[in-house]
């Protein structure tokens, strides 16, 4: 740390009164401290936001679980909080979230990985310079626009192949979320592959391996933990995605594993309740915080997994 | 493996063929994203272009689809973005400067860093829940422009912090050593050197963050924004002294993505044309902002040679 030292500043300044110079130096020091404290508070706001999120979710969830038993919440297969006969089972919402996420990953993982291998190992650098930002634009499009795309363009196109597909289903939104997270997967996976040292590739080529053998048997295994981190980033994005599902999946909690049926995710349910403008303090109001807590815990789980994967990746070289 | 030259040649040819095959598969995978983007844009324009005329920008929402417009949504979005920018930029830049230039390597810094990373991964709707509990009810800001702006500010804070840190980290240590050697204090170094040199990188992050905020729907719905707003918030500029009014902060509002969601969730086809038209405007705004950010990034990367 470098800091000015008040007692050591007397070089070439004979004309200035030492007393006022000392005062100036102290004033400077105090000002510096104030600025440092302000900047620290700004940085600490990140911690404060986390604490506030956890506090609010836990507080409202506690209120919710005073009325609903945790066992019912985790085992009941119906979520009918908006109806007269109320059931509070989170499983249908969880199933909806898992179904759309799985559909999304089945598209994004293969496409994102192959894109990353292609951009990192095969493509001309100039192609990469153009394609990477273009793919990032996919992640920049507002999610409600993707909702439009899923409801009015993808689902009708799917109905062409599957005439029985209902207008609201989880397949269309799942596929659209998949396209949406391709850039997350491909960009992080490509960075991981590009950070594999060139000497490993050179060694492989020197042994007479082809480009494909080098990519798939040397580069991809060496970058595995980075690629896994990319998948986990994609999973946590798909989990938290709200608008596509809220628009195109039908907003009906439905305990099914069939993506062709309508359904609701945790996020879509929160939107549905919020649209109904429920009174502050009601059980419905508290329920969105309870399912929100489930969502945060699951995202946190995946973030920790991603952190561990990245840590291993860093230690590789 | 045999030593027969013919067999080896066949192997080489086969290897080349597989290489070419994989290159084609890779290019197709790459095109999935790009083609989807193209189809999405073309479809939106095809569905919504007929509604895009001057009236659409000047009208309030209406029960008659043909006469409905996005005036209140555009004004609402602009005012919400103003609050978001005014809050998130100073806070995020200050936090980034602290973490790069001031923070000591200790456990508090580590906790802050872990929190910034985690917040970047929190789903946007969770910020909506935070805002519903904190801003709308605990602090009693109501379902207002102020609540919405602050919510989105918290959401994009990690983006601004991370891009500020990256921009500052790219400044070589010699600049700092030179400033300290001339007797500058830490704040003088930050104000006169660090901030000016990192402006390009910070600006890129700010624009990407605001582009995300302007398209964000879920947290705003969660705080309970109304969707049918046929009036404008009170004007911030008034005729009487002191000529500035902050009544608009507490006003109900709607924003572009919410207006589009509202039209999209109606079953009648004419409203879906409106939704497509609103989608075109929304996509144009976010693509423009992202394009400017990419352009800035390339420009500053090419210009600065330390």
Looking at the fold, whether A108 and A62 belong to one and the same domain comes out as no
Question: In DSSP terms, which residues pair with A263 in a beta bridge?
Answer: A250
Chain B residues whose CB is inside 8 A of the A34 CB are none
C-beta atoms of A137 and B290 within 8 A: yes
What's the CA gap between A5 and A305, in Å, rounded? 47
Nearest by CB to B121, from A45, A119, A303: name it.
A303
A132 and A205 both lie in a single domain = yes
Read off the pLDDT band of A63 (50, 70, 90). Answer: confident
Residues A106 and A149 in one domain: yes
What pLDDT is recorded for position B228?
A: 64
Query: Å from B278 to nearest chain A CA?
Result: 9
Which 151-210 residues of chain A touch chain B by CB within 8 A? 151-153, 179, 182-183, 186, 210
Q: For residue A71, is pLDDT > 60?
A: yes
CATH number at residue A239: 1.10.3720.10
Could B18 and A212 be called an inter-chain contact, meaning their C-beta atoms sit closer than 8 Å?
yes
Spatial contact of A96 and A268, defined as CB atoms under 8 Å apart: yes
- Closest CA relative to residue B85, chosen from B203, B243, B234, B183: B203
A24-38, A179-193, B93-107, B185-199: segment of lowest average pLDDT: A24-38
Residue at token pair 């985790």: A74
- The interface predicted TM-score (ipTM) is 0.84
- A257 inside domain: yes
pLDDT on residue A316? 52
Query: Is the bond into B242 cis (omega within 30 degrees of 0)?
Result: yes
In a domain, A268, yes or no: yes
Listed by number, the residues of chain A in 230-269 with a beta carbon closer than 8 Å to a beta carbon of chain B are 233, 236, 239-243, 246-247, 267
Q: Name the H helices within chain A.
A: 18-67, 70-75, 91-117, 125-140, 143-149, 155-161, 171-194, 198-206, 211-214, 220-222, 224-240, 243-248, 266-275, 283-315
Domain count, chain A: 2
Taking CA atoms, B137 is separated from A55, A275, B76, B220, B296, in Å, by 14, 17, 21, 15, 40
- Closest partner residue to A142 (CB to CB) among B121, B257, B294 is B257
Which residues from chain A sit within 8 angstroms of residue B132, using beta carbons?
274
Q: Do A122 and B23 touch (CB under 8 A)?
A: yes
Distance of CA B77 to the CA centre of its chain: 13
Report CB contact under 8 Å: B221, A274.
yes
CB contact under 8 A, B90 and A42: yes
Query: Is CATH 3.90.1300.10 what the domain over B54-303 is classified as, yes or no?
Result: no
Separation of alpha carbons A67 and B174, rounded Å: 63
pLDDT for B227 equals 64
Does residue B183 belong to the interface with chain A, where contact is any CB pair within 8 Å?
Answer: yes
Interface of B with A in 52-81 (CB under 8 A): none
pLDDT of residue A110: 93
> CA of B259: which chain A residue's CA is closest?
A144
CA separation for the pair B217, A118 (Å, rounded): 34
B185, A28: Cβ pair inside 8 Å?
A: yes
Q: CA nearest B258: which of B151, B120, B122, B140?
A: B151
What confidence category does residue A12 fall into, taking pLDDT thresholds of 50, 70 and 90? Answer: very low
pLDDT score for A19: 65
With a CB-CB cutoff of 8 Å, which residues 101-140 of chain A face chain B? Answer: 110-111, 114-115, 117-119, 122-123, 131, 133-138, 140
Which residue's structure tokens are 């995978």? B29
For residue B5, what is the enclosing H or E element?
helix B5-48
- List the single residue in A with minimal CA-CA distance to B294: A133
Whether A261 and A189 have beta carbons less than 8 Å apart is answered as: no
**Residue B160, number of CB atoms within 10 A of its CB:** 26
Chain A's closest residue to B154, CA to CA, is: A49
Confidence tier at A83 by pLDDT (50, 70, 90): low
Beta strands in chain B (DSSP E): none
Q: Do A26 and A133 fall into the same domain?
A: no
Contacts of A9 (CB under 8 A, 6+ apart): A21, A25
d(CA B169, CA B116): 17
CB contact under 8 A, B30 and A131: yes
Q: Are A55 and A122 in the same domain?
A: no
Residues of B in contact with A52 (CB under 8 A): 130, 134
Residue A18 pLDDT exceeds 70? no
Average confidence (pLDDT) over B235-245:
63
Q: Mean per-residue pLDDT for A51-73? A: 83
Shared domain check, A290 and A192: yes
Give Cα separations from A301 to A240, A296, A308, B90, B118 (angstroms).
Answer: 13, 8, 11, 31, 11
Whole-Å CA distances, B228 to A60, B60, B83, B98, B215: 29, 9, 22, 43, 18
For the record, the structure tokens of B107 come out as 């456990």
B224 or A59: whose pLDDT is higher?
A59
Residue A55 belongs to what domain range? 16-67
Render the burial of A179-188: b for 16+ CB within 10 Å, e for the rest.
bbbbbbbbbb
- List the single best residue of A43, A181, A247 to mutate versus B (max B Cβ within 10 A): A43
Of A38-42, A234-238, B117-121, least confident by mean pLDDT is B117-121
- Return the residue of B nearest to A154 by Cα: B40
Contacts with A, B 157-176, CB within 8 Å: 157-158, 161
How much is the pLDDT for B232?
67
Give me B176's structure tokens.
């700092």
CB distance B217–A43 less than 8 Å?
A: no
Domain assignments of chain B as residue spans, ordered by start = 5-51, 54-303
Inform me whether the C-beta atom of residue B218 falls under 8 Å from chain A C-beta atoms: yes
| pLDDT over threshold 50, residue A9 | no
Structure tokens at A110: 């293969």
How many angstroms separate the CA atoms of A270 and A287, rounded? 9
State the average pLDDT over residues A126-152. 86
B29 closest CB neighbour out of A111, A144, A213:
A111
Rounded CA gap, B93 and B206, in Å?
A: 9
Same domain, A259 and A203: yes
Q: Report how far apart the first and last C-alpha atoms of chain B are (Å, whole number).
A: 54
Q: Which helix (H) or strand (E) holds B38?
A: helix B5-48
User: Are B134 and A52 within 8 A, CB to CB?
Assistant: yes
- Residue B68, classified by CB atoms within 10 Å of its CB into exposed (0-12), middle (13-18) or buried (19+), is buried
Per residue in B93-139, pLDDT (tens digit) is 999 999 888 888 888 888 888 888 888 888 888 998 888 888 877 78
- Best CA proximity match to A183, nearest among A225, A140, A223: A140
Cα–Cα distance for residue pair A254/A168, rounded to 1 Å: 12
CB B163, CB B212: distance < 8 Å:
no
* Number of neighbours of residue B145 by Cβ within 10 angstroms: 24
Torsion of CA B122, A240, A143, A53, to 10 degrees: -40
Give the CA count within 13 Å in the CB-facing half-sphere of B282: 32
Return the sign of the alpha-carbon dihedral for residues A134, A139, A143, A147.
positive
CB-CB under 8 Å, B16 with A242: no
Q: In sequence order, what are the beta bridge partners of B237?
A: B244
**pLDDT at residue A235 above 70?**
yes
Cα–Cα dist B266/B270, whole Å = 9
How far is Cα B226 from Cα B259, in angstroms, rounded to an integer?
A: 9
Same domain for A145 and A234: yes
Query: What is the per-residue pLDDT across A151-164, written as a single tens digit (0 to 9) for each?
Result: 888 888 888 887 77
Is A120 contained in some domain? yes
How many other C-beta atoms can be found within 10 angstroms of the C-beta atom of residue B185? 18
Contact of A120 with B240, CB cutoff 8 Å: no
Are the beta carbons of A176 and A153 closer than 8 angstroms? no
DSSP B249: G
Taking all residues of chain B, what is their mean pLDDT, rounded to a whole number? 82
B102 neighbourhood in chain A, CB within 8 Å: 36, 39-40
A186 contacts: CB under 8 Å, gap ≥ 6: A111, A112, A113, A115, A116, A119, A135, A230, B33
Q: Which of A32, A270, A296 sits opposite B222 (nearest CB)?
A: A270
């Amino acid at each position: 740390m470098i800091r000015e030292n008040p007692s050591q500043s007397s070089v070439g300044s004979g004309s200035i009164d030492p007393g006022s110079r000392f005062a100036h130096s102290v004033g400077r020091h105090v000002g510096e401290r104030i600025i440092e404290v302000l900047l620290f508070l700004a940085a600490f706001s990140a911690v404060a936001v986390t604490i506030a999120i956890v506090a609010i979710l836990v507080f409202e969830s506690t209120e919710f679980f005073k009325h609903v038993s945790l066992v019912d919440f985790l085992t009941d297969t119906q979520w009918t909080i908006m109806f007269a006969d109320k059931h509070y089972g989170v499983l249908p919402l969880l199933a909806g979230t898992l179904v759309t996420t799985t559909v999304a990953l089945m598209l994004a993982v293969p496409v994102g990985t192959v894109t990353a291998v292609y951009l990192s190992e095969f493509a001309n650098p100039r192609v990469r310079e153009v394609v990477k930002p273009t793919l990032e634009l996919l992640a920049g499009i507002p999610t409600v626009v993707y909702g439009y795309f899923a409801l009015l363009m993808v689902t009708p196109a799917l109905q062409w192949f599957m005439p029985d597909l209902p207008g609201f289903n989880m397949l269309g939104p799942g596929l659209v979320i998949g396209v949406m997270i391709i850039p997350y997967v491909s960009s992080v996976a490509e960075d991981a592959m590009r950070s594999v040292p060139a000497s490993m590739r050179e060694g492989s080529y020197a042994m007479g391996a082809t480009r494909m053998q080098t990519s798939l048997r040397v580069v991809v295994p060496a970058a595995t933990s980075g690629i896994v981190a990319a998948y986990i980033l994609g999973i946590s994005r798909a989990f938290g995605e709200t608008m596509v599902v809220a628009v195109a999946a039908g907003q009906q909690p439905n305990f099914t594993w069939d993506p062709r049926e309508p359904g609701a995710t945790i996020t879509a349910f929160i939107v549905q309740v919020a649209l109904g403008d429920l009174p502050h303090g009601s059980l419905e109001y508290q329920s969105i915080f309870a399912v929100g807590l489930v969502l945060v815990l699951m995202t946190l789980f995946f973030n920790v997994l991603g952190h561990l994967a990245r840590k291993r990746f860093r230690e590789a070289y | 493996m045999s030593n027969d030259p013919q067999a080896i040649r066949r192997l080489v040819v086969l290897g080349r063929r597989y290489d070419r095959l994989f290159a084609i598969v890779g290019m197709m995978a790459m095109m999935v994203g790009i083609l989807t983007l193209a189809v999405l844009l073309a479809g939106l324009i095809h569905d919504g272009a007929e509604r895009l005329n001057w009236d659409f920008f000047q009208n309030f929402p209406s029960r008659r689809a043909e006469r409905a417009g996005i005036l209140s949504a555009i004004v609402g979005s602009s005012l919400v973005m103003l609050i978001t920018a005014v809050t998130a930029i100073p806070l995020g830049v200050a936090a980034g400067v602290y973490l790069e230039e001031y923070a000591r390597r200790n456990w508090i810094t580590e906790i802050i860093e872990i929190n910034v990373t985690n917040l970047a991964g929190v789903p946007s709707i969770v910020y909506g829940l935070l805002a519903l509990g904190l801003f709308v009810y605990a602090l009693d800001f109501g379902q207002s422009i102020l609540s919405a702006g602050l919510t989105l500010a918290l959401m994009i804070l990690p983006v601004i912090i991370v891009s500020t840190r990256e921009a500052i980290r790219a400044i070589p240590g010699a600049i700092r050593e030179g400033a300290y050697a001339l007797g500058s204090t830490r704040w003088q170094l930050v104000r006169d050197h660090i901030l000016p040199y990192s402006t390009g990188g910070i600006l890129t992050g700010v624009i990407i963050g605001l582009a995300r905020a302007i398209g964000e729907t879920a947290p705003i719905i969660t705080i309970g924004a109304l969707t049918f707003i046929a009036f404008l918030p009170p004007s911030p500029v008034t005729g009487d002294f002191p000529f500035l009014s902050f009544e608009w902060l507490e006003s109900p509002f709607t924003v572009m993505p919410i207006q589009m969601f509202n039209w999209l969730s109606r079953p009648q086809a004419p409203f879906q044309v409106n939704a497509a038209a609103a989608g075109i405007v929304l996509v144009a705004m976010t693509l423009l902002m992202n394009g400017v950010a990419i352009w800035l990034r390339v420009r500053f990367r090419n210009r600065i040679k330390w």
